[in-house]
A and B are shown apart, each in its own frame.
Chain A
Amino acid sequence: MFTLFGIGFTAPWLLLGLVALPILWVLLRAVPPAPIRRRFPGVALLLGLTDEEQQSDRTPWWLLLLRTLAVAAVILGFAGPVLNPDDRVPGTGPMLVLVDGTWADARDWPRRTDRIAGALEEAARDGRTAAVVSLTDLPTAGELPFQAADAWAARLPSLAPKAWSPDPGAVQAWAESLTGRFETLWLSDGLAADWRAPVLAALESRGPVRVFESPRPVIGLKPARFEDGAIALSAVRAVGGQPQEVDVLGFGLDPAGVERELARGTMSFEGGANEAELSLSLPPELRNRITRFQVDGWRSAGAVSLTDDGLKRREVALISGRDDREALQLLSPTHYLEQALAPTADLIDGSLDDVLLANPDVIVLADVATVTETEQEAITDWVDKGGLLLRFAGPRLAASDISRDAEDPLMPVRLRAGGRSVGGAMSWGEPKTLRAFSEGSPFFGLSVPDDVTVNAQVMAQPDPTLAERSIASLEDGTPLVTRKRVGQGQIVLFHVTANAEWSTLPLSGLFVQMLERLAVSTRPARPTADDLAGTTWAPDTVLNAFGQIEDAGTLPGISGEDLAAATPSPTTPPGLYAGDDRRIALNVIGADTELQPTLWPDRIPVEGLALARETALKGLLLTLALGLLALDVIASLWLAGRLSGPRGSVAAVLALMLLSLPQPSGAQPKPEDEFAIKATSEVVLAHVITGDQRVDDIAQAGLRGLSETLFARTSIEPAEPIAVNLETDELSFFPFLYWPVTPDQPQPSQEAYARLNTYLRTGGMILFDTRDADVAGFGGGSPNGRKLQQLALPLDVPPLEPLPADHVLTRTFYLLQDFPGRFASRDVWVEAAPADAEQVEGMPFRNLNDNVTPVVIGGNDWAAAWAVDEGGNRMFPVGRGYAGERQREIALRFGVNLIMHVLTGNYKSDQVHVPALLDRLGQ
């Protein structure tokens, strides 16, 4: 392609036409504008007058310029100019498209697939084979799946990034196993890694390498930490430079179990800084609910940080049996517990009744023997729902008879009387040490320090269940910790005291670890391999590369040691891992992850994803030429003096249009205004849009028929009925709303209900029509009836009663006692009369409501009885024969009465008083 000043031309020979422009200039210049012939009687007076200057028979220079430019634009346009011409040299040989396919790619993934598609299309055009390889999903070593490029293009949609980084060893091994010559296009995620250099070298030995990188920065969110009573969040980015602000959202379940945004904060990267901090101070209730933090608007697993138990602070209630010995703090039964738990849990003090109300996660009973019966029931309930009751033995427990003969509901095992004491001054033997924890115990894997000794303990009665309930024991096999599961919760008994009286266990680090394993306390930092030794963790939820949470499905569990050392990989995908009672999050970004941009060698061409597209300028230039010619027309007319009178104004308008063509015309009346004007310029009946097209059509037709009847018979002359959308339309314009009920119509929003209630309170009326009076009585279990109950629940509906015989609706226009629609049920309900309404002597009616009833509810399918089609014909049959027509007539009369009632209120009710008023006036 011929290229000039960066613009390519598809038909460059046409440019020779530009040479003719000067000739055109001369020609145009020599030809004056054609004269106008004018009939003019005054010509006799003109005879003999000569023109003062002869110069003007030449076309003015600016008009010449205009025309020359127009012709030049035409020539250039047809020469096929192309901006950013793609003058690539068709490549040869196979092409390898290499994608990192990591979480950092995810944010730009569609653009990356577009780029791959572009490369494949190019390869297909050149007849090359291609292979697409994702480094996180490597094919077999040594082979490259070269295929026809368009075959790969068809498989592109299934190419997806993974939430982990490539395995360095596997990638290097794979790269070195490659054979043959090929060209490589590497779509890198832009993050530095040690394996990039060797892989690049291996690829370069096979052929040229091009690299594409997204210019958009990569942001990673580090796991949330708990620091100084607040949640500390930090984010890292790969490229420093511009100051940047990102919003961080905390998501979790609300009390209704719906996931929603619970916290929000803004993090700002200073210019040049790669790390940003944010401290969120949240109430414990809210904090415990948070399940993940996420950088707002970043679709990448790196921008999501799952939280686990590390962030949760359990509420632990400590209750001890002896709190009268204030002076001896170190002997206090709960002192060591408080020391162990205070950094990682929220402690609750108070009586058992009080703390049960707070619904803590754990209740610790230190040497409490008996509780009252009501307390016992309450605790049992609480444990049943997932609470952990942690009991410690002590002198009181040992002395009591609890769980002696029969197992106490709040004790895991039966106890022998008295307990035992070993290794003390008055006993034989050595203090006992602990036996290593057996498999199946929650403590399995914890190492037992030698200095933990037990001097005294309460003894469990040998029972068939004792072996399974014992989760820690002394070296002689006597149970030290027993556990019983109750419902969703558990009861754990330490057979020693919670202070150092009976054993040195509370003094050791093992005690804290044991509490952690029991999920009494939570670990402050990421657990080490030791902490997790011997446990098995199954992935509960996993993150995909886009930061979306997915169900883990049937992924196999992994051992605690592996989990402690794990980085995200195919076998350990990032996600939430559930152990016995604990959860550990494995995030893409660890606490010490740093992100660095890749530094490519200078010889490698690196391009951004945004590729300058070829832009054909032909249309633009031809449009320009047309515009210039149009201007020329107007200018020529003006020069020739033909732009006088109306033609002038037309030309001026045209010129203005030419100049202002791209600007959209404003000053359209707003649709809301149009709606308001339409609804208020005349009386308009309205119906609620149910979403069911047929029901809406019938409602519209019914109201049209009623409107026509009103027009013909009464002084109400309504316009065409309007369909009202409860969510968007203003209701106050309408005196009357017809609301057909369908079982599957959507529930209006809270705002819509607020407006509906305002509407009802300020005098509007809604006619609810369940349209099922043929099959169901009012309030029966029909689907429409149930839906009506749902719909009307948030509405401010007063008490209702069946339409009484002396209701004003029976006489607002016609005298009626039946209110049939297409069905003739008597079940029509209106606002109930006030309780003190009584029939006065001599009056035919009670003095009833002083207001319009806000709702009329029935199921007679009135709209169908009223409905007329465009031609004014009845759309639905009512009943049979003459009786049916009579029923339709009564239905129409009911409609008339209803609208009269809406518009005139209790006017007809007041008419009752006319005789009395006249009487008084006469006196």
Chain B
Amino acid sequence: MSDPALLRADAEGLAAPLPPLMADAQHLAQSVLLGAHGRRRAGMGDEFWQYRPSIPGDEARSIDWRRSGRSDAHFVQEKEWQAAQSVLLWVDAARSMDFASDKALPTKASRARTLAMALAILLIRGGERVGLSGFGLPPRSGQVQLLRLAAAMSDIGEAPDYGVPEARGMLPRSRALFVSDFMGDPEPVSAALTKAADRGVKGAILHILDPQEEAFPFDGRTVFESIGGSVRHETLKAGDLRGRYLERLAARKALLADLCRTTGWQYHCHHTGASASAALLWLYGALEHAH
């Protein structure tokens, strides 16, 4: 038996980030108004699609008697096909995401989680199934899934300094979204994307950067350390490194964009200093365009 008090404390700690995350995500999702996420053809679904004259073979109970009563023929009411799509999210939980250059700015991780949750809200509202890549949380629909997603995203345990995309457990022909700063080794990213493309998974990459990472406004003698402290680099004149750092950053962006182009994914770079709604709109559009 676990101590109830401890359980309670743990539960509180666990639940603490949820409401803000959900609230932020809901708030963000409000800004995108959605219609029905229909397939534009008859099939299984809840929404009315069309009446068609009954043909032999239709079950008698499928006949819409109210419509048929107004004419001599029998009509069958068809519903719009509302096949749910599976969307798999991967939000980088590595330590490098836990960085904000300014108190006023959110950390990259929080911005990434907010955006992912908002997208999940939109998608689930649209009837899609949303889950996390890997085997932790398979895609499901429904409001409860949102809570599960939020809990899973908030559950930050020990994490490495730089994250590796999780490409396992991808359903064929599903959609995927990778959110990370992609500061670590690009090889696993490339491998994950290739693997996903092989399984017919299409999606988008959201590259989240802090404004400081984009500007490198440092000077003087400096020891740079990664957030986890595993990597350090000392320089005597940080200002001199700016040009070369920016070159490398641009190369990293180009690499990711290239990867996306070859695999049919879409790439977007988002700064935590910029508006989250714009990124959400882009995300939503990117996943719409995929089909």
Contacts and interface: CB of A to CB of B under 8 A. Distances in A.
A44 B226 contact: yes
Contact of B225 (A34, A43, A53): A43
A35 B249 contact: no
Interface stretch (A166-174, A635-643, A688-696, A786-794): A635-643
A846 to B, nearest CB: 75
Given A46-B241, A49-B235, A54-B236, A41 B226 contact: yes
B183 A640 contact: no
Contacts of A681: none
A17 interface: no
Nearest to B214: A42
Q: Which of A46, A51, A642 is most buried by chain B, counting CB atoms within 10 A of its CB?
A: A46
Contacts of B241: 46, 49, 51
B223 A39 contact: no
Given A44-B162, A46-B245, A56-B236, A36 B222 contact: yes
B244 A49 contact: yes
B240 A51 contact: yes
A150 to B, nearest CB: 65
Contacts of A42: 183, 213, 216, 224, 245, 249
Contacts of A36: 220-223
Contacts of A52: 237, 240
Q: Which of A40, A639, A644 is most buried by chain B, counting CB atoms within 10 A of its CB?
A: A40
A641 B233 contact: no
A33 interface: yes
A229 B261 CA distance: 116
Interface in B136-151: none
Contact of A35 (B96, B216, B234): B234
Nearest to B240: A52
Interface in B227-284: 227, 231-241, 244-245, 248-249, 252
A47 B231 contact: yes
Q: Which of B162, B221, B235, B238 is most buried by chain A, counting CB atoms within 10 A of its CB?
A: B221
A343 interface: no
A88 interface: no
B283 to A, nearest CB: 22
A640 B226 CA distance: 20
Nearest to B95: A41
A194 to B, nearest CB: 82
A32 B220 CA distance: 11
Contacts of B221: 32-36, 56-57, 640-641
Q: Which of A39, A49, A54, A639 is most buried by chain B, counting CB atoms within 10 A of its CB?
A: A39
A37 interface: yes
Contacts of A47: 231, 233
Instruction: Categorize the interface residue count of chain B.
Output: 35 or more
A369 B232 CA distance: 134
A241 to B, nearest CB: 64
A53 B245 contact: no
Q: Which of B210, B220, B245, B252 is most buried by chain A, counting CB atoms within 10 A of its CB?
A: B220
Interface in B169-207: 181, 183-184
Contacts of A641: 218-222, 238-239
Q: Which of A45, A53, A642, A644 is most buried by chain B, counting CB atoms within 10 A of its CB?
A: A45
Contacts of B224: 38-40, 42-43, 46
B226 A43 contact: yes
Contacts of A640: 219-221
Interface string A524-568: 000000000000000000000000000000000000000000000
B233 A46 contact: yes
Contacts of B220: 33, 35-36, 639-642
A199 to B, nearest CB: 78
B232 A43 contact: yes
A639 B241 CA distance: 16
B233 A41 contact: no
Interface in A600-645: 639-642, 644
Contacts of A40: 99, 212-213, 218, 224-226
Contacts of B245: 42, 45-46, 49
B249 A45 contact: yes
Contacts of B162: 44
Contacts of B219: 640-641, 644
Contacts of B236: 32, 51, 54, 56-57
A interface, over-half SS: loop
B217 interface: yes
Q: Which of A42, A44, A45, A46 is most buried by chain B, counting CB atoms within 10 A of its CB?
A: A42
Contacts of B210: 41
A40 B232 CA distance: 9
Instruction: Categorize the interface residue count of chain A.
Output: 20 to 34
Contacts of A53: 237, 240
Nearest to A637: B220
A56 B238 CA distance: 11
Nearest to A642: B220
A262 to B, nearest CB: 78
A642 B244 CA distance: 21
A44 to B, nearest CB: 5
Nearest to A48: B233
Contacts of B217: 644
A309 to B, nearest CB: 92
B242 to A, nearest CB: 10
A34 B236 CA distance: 10
Interface string A18-29: 000000000000
Nearest to A52: B240
Nearest to A41: B96
Q: Which of A44, A51, A639 is most buried by chain B, counting CB atoms within 10 A of its CB?
A: A44
B233 A49 contact: yes
B234 to A, nearest CB: 7
Nearest to A32: B221
A642 B237 CA distance: 13
A651 to B, nearest CB: 14
Contacts of B184: 44
B225 A45 contact: no
A541 to B, nearest CB: 83
Nearest to A45: B248
Nearest to B232: A43
A43 B231 contact: yes
A634 to B, nearest CB: 14
Contact of A45 (B108, B183, B212, B239): B183
Contact of B226 (A33, A34, A39): A39
A38 B226 CA distance: 8
Contacts of B183: 41-42, 44-45
A636 to B, nearest CB: 10
A896 to B, nearest CB: 56
A301 to B, nearest CB: 75
B211 to A, nearest CB: 12
A56 to B, nearest CB: 5
A832 B194 CA distance: 109
B96 to A, nearest CB: 4
Contacts of B233: 43, 46-47, 49
Nearest to A35: B221
Contacts of A639: 220
A35 B221 CA distance: 5
A40 B235 CA distance: 13
A37 B249 contact: no
Nearest to B234: A35
A670 B227 CA distance: 56
Nearest to B244: A49
B231 A44 contact: yes
A33 B235 CA distance: 12
10 interchain residue pairs of minimum CB distance: A641-B220, A641-B219, A41-B96, A43-B224, A640-B220, A35-B221, A45-B248, A42-B213, A40-B224, A46-B233
8 contacts: A41-B213, A43-B233, A44-B183, A44-B231, A53-B237, A53-B240, A640-B219, A644-B219
Given A35-B223, A44-B184, 12 more contacts: A33-B220, A36-B221, A37-B223, A39-B227, A44-B231, A45-B252, A49-B244, A51-B235, A56-B221, A57-B221, A640-B220, A641-B239
